[in-house]
Amino acid sequence: MSAVSEQSDAELLAAIAAGDRAAFEALYRRYGPWLATRLRYRCADSALVDDAVQETFLAVWRGSARYRERGDVAGWLWQIGFRRLVDAIRGQHARDRLLRLLSGHRWRAAPSAEEELLLGVEHGDLAGALARLSPELRAVMQATVLDGLSTHEAAALLGIPVGTVKTRAMRARRQLRGDLT
């Protein structure tokens, strides 16, 4: 094992800031596969995941992402990677929408799950109601409401058809309304 690979995360990041390529490679070997695996749980499109991982580490190398020594490095990289993944999904969605418009098909967005959920919640234990949802329904609500993704983006992220996202969102809203009224 080389001396660079034995350095702490903070030492590696300091060396990367100084332009040390070996430190960058060590950080990538340490966290690249881990980040890719975690992002693949959120998105079935391996090309988008690979792009997000690459963009994450490019941001670290270029210094546009700066570690502020709060929390662990893995969590910091996860935040960057997840944001890059969401950006990639939104970019893909925008390209798909543009292609549909250019090909003469009209695209109409349905009301977001967030809008419907927030309109239906006047009082009650939202956290408890969310916890009582099945994992499949909770994943859809997390993607569409908490992460702010469109139905199409959530479908790409979860690796399920758009219709399944809509059905699960409808079922989740129905269950939440029942739990919160």
CA-nearest of 67, 74, 162, 80 to 113 is 162
Q: Which domains does the chain have, with CATH numbers?
A: 4-102 (1.10.1740.10), 113-180 (1.10.10.10)
Residues 6 or more apart whose CB falls under 8 angstroms from that of 82 comprise: 39, 42, 52
User: Where residue 98 falls among pLDDT bands split at 50, 70, 90?
Assistant: low
The per-residue pLDDT of the chain, averaged, comes to 79
Residues 13-24 have a mean pLDDT of: 90
pLDDT score of 68 more than 70: no
Highest mean pLDDT among 7-11, 57-61, 65-69: 57-61
* pLDDT tens column, 167-180: 999 999 888 888 77
Long-range contacts of 18-25 (CB under 8 A, 24+ apart): 24/57, 24/60, 24/61
Residues 10-20 have a mean pLDDT of: 88
- Measured CA to CA, the distance from residue 89 to residue 76 in angstroms comes to 20
- Measured CA to CA, the distance from residue 43 to residue 55 in angstroms comes to 16
Between the CA atoms of 172, 115, 158 and 89, what dihedral angle is there, to the nearest 10 degrees? 180
Compare 112 and 150 and report the one with higher pLDDT: 150
Taking residue 179's Cβ as centre, other Cβ atoms within 10 Å add up to: 16
pTM over 0.85: no
